[in-house]
Amino acid sequence: MSKPHSHLPLTILFMLAWRNLWRHRRRTLITLTSIAIGFGLAVLFIGIGDGSHNSMIRNAIKLGEGHITVQPKDYLQAPANHKYLSDGLSLSAKLNELNVTGSVAARISLQVLASTASNSVGAALEGFRSNSDQRQAMLQPQLIEGNWIEAGDHRGIVIGDGMARKLKAKIGSKVVLMAGKQGGDSQAQLGRVRGIFDSHVDELDDYLILSDLQFAQYFLAGEGAIIEQAPVTRFAVFLDDPDTMAYWKAQIKSVIENDLVVALDWQEMMPQLVQFIIIDDVGNYVFLILILIMVVFGIVNTVLMSVLERTREFGLLRALGLGRQHLLLLVFCETLLLSVLAVIIGWVVGGGTHWWFSQHGIDFSALMPEGTAMMGTFMDPVVYTELSWDRVTQLTIIIFVTTLLSGIYPAIKAARVTPVEALRT
């Protein structure tokens, strides 16, 4: 037969814990307020971080090669003009059959030497289909002179203002583009400047030459490509919903990937940007840790004070027959309730702050007069805070677990109370 032992139903445990929590209403409210403010700041800063990162990523994807890129297998490791997808037509058909929710842009990338009568500079020639490319959507508004390339303009090029300065080129200037061929020969095409853009991203303004796809295909034809097969360097896939990237990447891989062709996502295409974001995130997390330290001290202070001033009461409860484990649970429940309240109030404050800034944004242009370009992309000067559900879950768990862990020491302290000593106090 089992010996009788003490019971403490959860309802009573939580009732006691709840009432104990509000025994010093003002102290509990001050603690909750400090946690909520800390939490709100953490949500705001993480939201700004995520908002600016996502802004950079979106711009990088639009200026770059899309969410998913289909290109020759070894192109990323060693780009070269002779590496291209010779049968663009059939690859394009396969991609179209997938009905990707977004758009697919055919592109040609070539390393060229751009020359005018005044100067020569190394450049990247990017051929794309005019009027249907995201890159055009990004750069056309940045035109400072001339016009965008019209569809079917087989000689027109658009250059950045940095390159225009170096080449001393103006609207209408002729630019000879020379590209090396496999085997050591070279080939050249003549382009005419239709427009000059200023993106404020030096890597683009100094180095990029944009042309219609057909103009760039002349170079591939020089490499032996058959124009009728629509040769391209890559297909850039832009997704309407970036969260579906893993799904579409898998779909595209299953259809087109082979020994010669590979499908890469933007993280694989732009590892430097990923590294930059990780390092910047570390900074945000350091800030979060500082806030958590404040939260921990706040909670330990509240719960520990509450435990110390109730030593006699704990002694009484122990004398009456309450087991150590129940006393430990009681104090732990107080922390648990404090944590739940802290997370709820924290989300009301932090979520409200985030919502406001996600609608109205924060204008950083005054803080960054030099521009917002970095890592070959740029951040929109007005940052709208962003928080994904993953971040919401992550922050909730971090704050909840931290506050809960803060209660361990006071709970152990309470459980160590011996009735005879406590009743003497």
Instruction: Report the interface residues with another protein, using CB under 8 A.
Output: 3-9, 12, 16, 19-20, 23, 312-313, 316-324, 326, 419-420, 423
Query: Nearest distance from residue 331's CB to another protein, in Å?
Result: 14
Q: Which is nearer to another protein, 393 or 418 (CB)?
A: 418
Per DSSP, the three-state class of 150 is coil
Query: Nearest distance from residue 328's CB to another protein, in Å?
Result: 13
Half-sphere exposure of residue 255: CA atoms within 13 angstroms, side-chain side: 18
Query: Nearest distance from residue 390's CB to another protein, in Å?
Result: 40
Q: Which is nearer to another protein, 286 or 420 (CB)?
A: 420
Q: What distance in Å separates the CA atoms of residue 425 and residue 415, rounded to the nearest whole number? A: 16
Beta carbons of 403 and 291 less than 8 angstroms apart: no
Query: Nearest distance from residue 410's CB to another protein, in Å?
Result: 17
Query: Nearest distance from residue 320's CB to another protein, in Å?
Result: 5
Query: Nearest distance from residue 414's CB to another protein, in Å?
Result: 14
The DSSP secondary structure of 218-284, one letter per residue, reads HHHHHTT--GGG--BSEEEEEESSGGGHHHHHHHHHHHH-SSSEEEEEHHHH-HHHHHHHHHHHHHH
DSSP class of 323: -
Q: Which is nearer to another protein, 8 or 408 (CB)?
A: 8
Q: What distance in Å separates the CA atoms of residue 339 and residue 423, rounded to the nearest whole number? A: 30
Q: Of 177, 181, 175, 192, nearest to 225 (Cα)?
A: 181
- Tokens 């200026």 identify what position? 63
Q: Which is nearer to another protein, 20 or 134 (CB)?
A: 20
Query: Nearest distance from residue 7's CB to another protein, in Å?
Result: 4
Quote the Cα angle for 380-385-389, to 5°: 130
User: What residues pair up with 120 in beta bridges, in sequence order?
Assistant: 115
Q: Which is nearer to another protein, 175 or 414 (CB)?
A: 414
Q: Which is nearer to another protein, 237 or 317 (CB)?
A: 317
Q: Which is nearer to another protein, 320 or 366 (CB)?
A: 320
Query: Nearest distance from residue 279's CB to another protein, in Å?
Result: 50
208-212 and 377-378: which strand pairing?
A: unpaired
Q: Of 62, 69, 66, 67, nearest to 256 (Cα)?
A: 69
The separation between CA 293 and the C-alpha centre of its own chain, rounded to angstroms, equals 26
Q: Which class for 174: exposed (0-12), middle (13-18), buried (19 or more C-beta within 10 A)?
A: middle
Q: What distance in Å separates the CA atoms of residue 247 and residue 38, rounded to the nearest whole number? A: 37
Q: Which is nearer to another protein, 19 or 360 (CB)?
A: 19
Q: Which is nearer to another protein, 19 or 170 (CB)?
A: 19
Q: What are phi and psi of 17, to 5 degrees?
A: -60, -45
Q: Of 156, 63, 271, 112, nearest to 55 (Cα)?
A: 63
Q: Which is nearer to another protein, 8 or 392 (CB)?
A: 8
DSSP class of 86: S
Query: Nearest distance from residue 384's CB to another protein, in Å?
Result: 46
Q: Of 422, 230, 411, 280, nearest to 336 (Cα)?
A: 411
Query: Nearest distance from residue 335's CB to another protein, in Å?
Result: 16
Q: Which is nearer to another protein, 139 or 327 (CB)?
A: 327
Contacts (Cβ under 8 Å, ≥6 apart) of 146:
158, 171, 193, 194, 195, 196
Query: Nearest distance from residue 413's CB to another protein, in Å?
Result: 17
